[in-house]
Amino acid sequence: MPERWITAVLDTTATGGWAVARSSQGFLHGNQGVLFSRDWLKQLGLPVLFEHGIGHFDGEPVYLVEFEEAVHIDNCQWQGLRQFMLQPGFEHFRVLAYAAQIGTWANEHRFCGRCGQPTAQVPGERAMLCSHCELRAYPRISPSMIVLVTRGDEILLARSPRFVPGVYSTLAGFAEPGESAEECLVREVREEVSVEVSNIQYVASQCWPFPHSMMLGFHAEYAGGDIVPQPDEIEDARWFRVDDLPPLPAARSIARYLIDLYVARRLGLPEPVLPG
């Protein structure tokens, strides 16, 4: 079965196609969903910051139209990407996730980071070019490690002050320059909960558009130490039995997949599939 969503660099001088509209308040959502006629959006005559061709959905071209502000449009509302993520079976999440990352990158690179001059899209390439000093800027991907620490029938979960109340999740953190994925994992676990790990096993990865992370997911076994939450980063951390878990992250997240996969293996249940 062919992929419904395929990323591509599309020519913005072409006409027609579908578009997703984005502003500082999220994506535009109407009665018909999040895909709008590109021509209709342009006919509104509203201030547009930039436009990028981002791919094809069911064979039809899709563009990102970034508005300068969250303008009012009749029978529509703006909604954050996380809200769409929480909607089970939302078929356009991958489109919006990619659009969010391209929009963030394009917004942050409208001016050259070396000389400050305006940049322009490179035809046929996902890059912004400064014609003054010829610096090219490509979309940023930030590698991050996410790990479920296990101890037999127990798993170590923690919560950040930024989490939804009551929700516990896995540990995660960004890689530092010069670190391997495994070195980052060990350091982050040690910093966040003062625990040592061993038998690190790679599980899966997920592109995480908040705003541009590549999450590399692992399972690791507890090797020693008492839990000591990192001040200002970890509000609480504790061991939970696989048959007695607290509220968990959204089903679409790799954090939830790491948890569900380990629980399924310990309890002899069918293994879950990481959502696309």
In this structure, the chain runs to a length of 276
Span 7-37, pLDDT tens digits: 999 999 999 999 999 999 999 999 989 999 9
Which residue, among 92, 103, 94, 99, has the nearest Cα to 33 in the 3D structure?
A: 92
User: How does residue 246 score in pLDDT terms, banded at 50, 70 and 90?
Assistant: very high
DSSP, res 4: S
Which residue, among 112, 28, 91, 108, has the nearest Cα to 63 in the 3D structure?
A: 28
Span 248-259, pLDDT tens digits: 999 999 999 999
Task: Quote the pLDDT of residue 88.
Answer: 83
**Overall average pLDDT of the 226-239 stretch:** 97
Span 73-88, pLDDT tens digits: 999 999 999 999 988 8
pTM of the model: 0.93
The H-or-E segment that residue 204 falls in is strand 196-208
**Overall average pLDDT of the 185-207 stretch:** 98
Task: Quote the pLDDT of residue 89.
Answer: 83
Question: From the CA atom positions of the chain, what is the Rg in Å?
Answer: 21
Alpha-carbon torsion angle 185, 191, 192, 198, nearest 10: 40
Which residue, among 58, 54, 51, 53, has the nearest Cα to 7 in the 3D structure?
A: 54
How many helices (H) and strands (E) are present in the chain, helices listed first?
5, 16
Hey, which residues does 31 pair with through a beta bridge?
A: none
Q: Which CATH architecture has domain 142-267?
A: Alpha-Beta Complex (3.90)
- Residue 211, preceding peptide bond in cis (omega within 30° of 0): yes
Q: How far apart are CA 264 and CA 271, in angstroms?
A: 6
Task: Quote the pLDDT of residue 180.
Answer: 97
Percent of the chain with pLDDT over 70: 100
- Taking 3-state DSSP, the helix, strand and coil percentages for the chain, each rounded to the nearest 5, stand at 20, 40, 45
Contact predicate 162/233, CB 8 Å: no
* Topology alike, domains 5-108 and 142-267: yes
Span 127-156, pLDDT tens digits: 999 999 999 999 999 999 999 999 999 999
Q: How far apart are CA 173 and CA 217, in angstroms?
A: 11
Span 86-120, pLDDT tens digits: 888 899 999 999 999 999 999 999 999 999 999 99
Task: Quote the pLDDT of residue 2.
Answer: 73
CA 46, distance to chain mean position in Å, is 28
Assigned fold of 5-108: Nucleoside Triphosphate Pyrophosphohydrolase (3.90.79)
Q: How far apart are CA 133 and CA 126, in angstroms?
A: 18
User: How does residue 54 score in pLDDT terms, banded at 50, 70 and 90?
Assistant: very high
Burial of 54 (0-12, 13-18, 19+ CB in 10 A): buried
DSSP, res 87: S
Domain spans in the chain, listed from the N-terminal domain onward: 5-108, 115-139, 142-267
Task: Quote the pLDDT of residue 139.
Answer: 97
Res 1 pLDDT > 70: no
